[in-house]
Structure 1
Amino acid sequence: YAVPDFFISIPVLWRKDLFASIGMGEPKTWDDLRKAGGQLKAKGHPTGMQFSHCNDANHNWRALMYCFGAKETDPTGQNIAIDSKEMRESLKFGKALYDEGMTPEVFSWDDASDNRFLASGVASWIHDAISAFHSTRITNPKVFEQTFVVPEVAGPGGTWNVGEPNVWAIWKFSKNVAAAKEFITHLTDNQKEAMEASLGYNMPFLRGQYAKPMPYLGKDAKLAKLQDQEKITAFLGYPGPMTPPAQEVVTTFIVPDMFTKVARGASIEDTMKWGVGEIRRIYAKHKAS
């Protein structure tokens, strides 16, 4: 168990001027992003999401699969549910996103690559935390003027954004439990200051923790819509809880690897067989222990 601190939201950051150049407004669906990526890549402004072993890859591709109705487990977290038509459709769509709108560099991207991509003025859109929004504000004000935020776009299965949970825990073997508890208590008593100082990056973990206008987000015209992010946020392992096996699936990057395999030309069925097998192996190991 742990004390919730904050979660990181991963919205869509898009270039209003570039979308307008192809007659498009704010993207509403994943298919809007696909169409924009393809048309703007032809104009020298591709899109990009990480096909690699980094946190962003785990979040971004899960957001896509959840929006397509794919599920990692059932709500109990005990039974694997990823072997589905919805997961196959999300893999097919992920390949279309890559083929139509991306370049091969995304296979080697790390968590900061899309930040630099947006700030460079090349990107048409990215799917990333608002750290990319702020770094663009600082390093390229002209591009920032045209950079806007969508909490998440919709897919056939709804609108789900993946949150990155951050929590505090005290090791059982700790030699200074009293001080650790005092430290955590101090932090939880000063959450408002932390959210303000993080420029809205540290999203409140608890429902109703802050009334609107929320710290920082409420006073930024572009970020204000993130104040309702909790309504569309799912966590890793959705719709089940973040169990130890669910976390191991995350840390071994099985889901990003599935999207990578298909993007690089592997068949969806071969990829499903591999991915489901890896996930079953992990869950079986944890049940045995």
Structure 2
Amino acid sequence: MITRRQLLKAAGTLLGYSFLVGPAKAQPRRTVTMLHQSHFVPTFNPELERQVTAWAAQRGVAARIDFLASRDIPARIAAEAESKSGHDIVQLRAFDAALYRRSLIPLDDVATALEREHGPWLPIARYVGFVDGRWYGVPWYHWSALAVVNRGHLARLGMTVDAVAELDWNGFLAVAERLHRQGTPVGIAISQTFDSNDGLYPILWAFGGRTVNEKGEVVINSDETAAAVEYVKRLFRFMPRDVLGWDDAANNRFLLSGVGAWTPNPPSIWAVAKLQNLPIADQIDHLPLPRGPRGRFRSTSTLSLGVWNFSANVDLAKDLIRYLLRPENVARQVEASMGYNQPFLQRYTQLDYWRRERALRHYEPVRETLAVPGWPGPAGEGAQLAYVEFIVPQMFARAITGTPTSEAIRWAEQELKARYQR
């Protein structure tokens, strides 16, 4: 388990890079800084840099973007909130806006103006950014996890991708066994990594399990959760054993190597294959995750933009956020991310990029239930700590590695209560 204290200690070991723009000959009076994860689709970072460069030139100021690995962002944000120093604009993932609201300025003016001009906001945007009646994060984009599949491996079983898209989880189990036998297995991260959240929560939800209810009461100890855990234990028999130690790049390598047949992920695997002209690119497709007794679900990771209340450049920071969410800039961001970035504003979900690329036909618009790990409970510290400390993936991992299912669930129940009842 990772504690906030450990996150703070880890902040000194972060890796990344910076991008500085601004007038070259005269020392600018002000420099606006921004923290963003290094994007999984490599063509996005240069586009973000280009847009920030254009904005800085128009305003006659300097701007700096610091790119860090996704796994390192929580530690950096925790350190900045604790020290009351750092960037002007920070990315807020999932429920960070609720967790750090006392260190963020309300951005109601920015969020309401954007909604009036380009809205409405998708419901999930309000869920992660609107806390205690205020917008502490301006929702920017989210990236959801479908099933990334190798069509060639399915064809060797005599199956089409459309047939696989219709499967429920029980039907998928039989397909996973057949794929395992032919040496092209399926894989879900069952480890302390964000991909594990996005792969396992939809199974929990599909079987009717929940971590908490709408009131924030811990309800994970249920027959429905036990059914989900038992299912994953059966599915694990047909996965590589190293999924218990996968990081967020491992399933990308799994598919791109030509070995893997199926894994939950946004379209970054397909994007990298296309950008590098890999032969496997033509075999990669995306499908909805199988449905369960309680329906079909898709987990998404969300990214909002917040401004620290100790920033010396609040007005400029707000202006940059508004600039990044202009229609022409969002359209270029979607193109540069190769469809990975899904906007939160309804108008922008109508962009045609996802319709032009056949491999992304199931990506947008979203037809299944879209949720953030922690749903349907309230946004807050408990939800965010459960998310970044990977309590649900740890529960599944414990059960898979020998802990009785009931004990693994009771462990998760106590861990969740410790965070939701703080």
**Same-fold status (TM-score > 0.5):** yes
Distance in 2 (alpha carbons) for counterparts of 1:241 and 1:207: 23
Unaligned runs of 5+ in 2: 1-135
**Aligned with residue 330 of structure 2, among 175, 178, 191:** 191
- Per-residue Cα deviation, 1:79-130 (whole angstroms, up to 9, x for no partner): 122121111111011111111x112111111111111110111011111111
**Aligned with residue 365 of structure 2, among 228, 236, 240:** 228
- Per-residue Cα deviation, 1:209-262 (whole angstroms, up to 9, x for no partner): 332xx2421210121221222653111211123322111011111100011011
| Shift of residue 10, structure 1, vs aligned partner | 0.6
Shift in CA distance, 34/208, structure 1 to aligned 2, threshold 3 Å: farther
Amino acid across the alignment from 2:341: N
Contact 2:330–2:348 (CA under 8 A) maintained in structure 1: no
Query: What's the TM-score once normalised by structure 1's chain length?
Result: 0.92
Amino acid across the alignment from 1:73: V
Distance in 2 (alpha carbons) for counterparts of 1:161 and 1:83: 22
- Per-residue Cα deviation, 1:30-63 (whole angstroms, up to 9, x for no partner): 2333222211111111111112111101111111
| Shift of residue 139, structure 1, vs aligned partner | 4.5
Runs of 4 or more consecutive aligned structure 1 residues displaced over 6 Å after TM superposition? none
Aligned length in residues: 281
SS for the counterpart of 2:263 is strand
| Matched ranges for 1:73-84 at <5 A | 73-76=212-215, 78-84=216-222
Contact 1:115–1:136 (CA under 8 A) maintained in structure 2: no
1:10 is the counterpart of 2:145? yes
Amino acid across the alignment from 1:35: A
Q: 2:198 aligns to what?
A: 59
Query: What's the TM-score once normalised by structure 2's chain length?
Result: 0.64
Distance in 1 (alpha carbons) for counterparts of 2:342 and 2:289: 15
Contact 1:66–1:157 (CA under 8 A) maintained in structure 2: yes
Contact 1:118–1:136 (CA under 8 A) maintained in structure 2: no
Unaligned runs of 5+ in 1: none
| Matched ranges for 1:1-289 at <5 A | 1-26=136-161, 27=164, 28=166, 29-76=168-215, 78-99=216-237, 101-139=238-276, 141-189=278-326, 190-211=329-350, 214-229=351-366, 231-285=368-422
Shift in CA distance, 170/215, structure 1 to aligned 2, threshold 3 Å: farther
Q: Where is the strand percentage greater, Structure 1 or Structure 2? A: 2
Distance in 2 (alpha carbons) for counterparts of 1:140 and 1:256: 34
Amino acid across the alignment from 1:66: W
Distance in 1 (alpha carbons) for counterparts of 2:179 and 2:347: 40
Amino acid across the alignment from 2:213: D
Whichever of the two has the greater Rg, that structure is 2
Query: Which range moves more in the overlay, 24-33 or 249-258?
Result: 24-33
Distance in 2 (alpha carbons) for counterparts of 1:187 and 1:231: 28
Distance in 2 (alpha carbons) for counterparts of 1:119 and 1:137: 11
Contact 2:298–2:368 (CA under 8 A) maintained in structure 1: no
Q: Larger relative CO (CA 8 A, sep 6+): 1 or 2?
A: 1
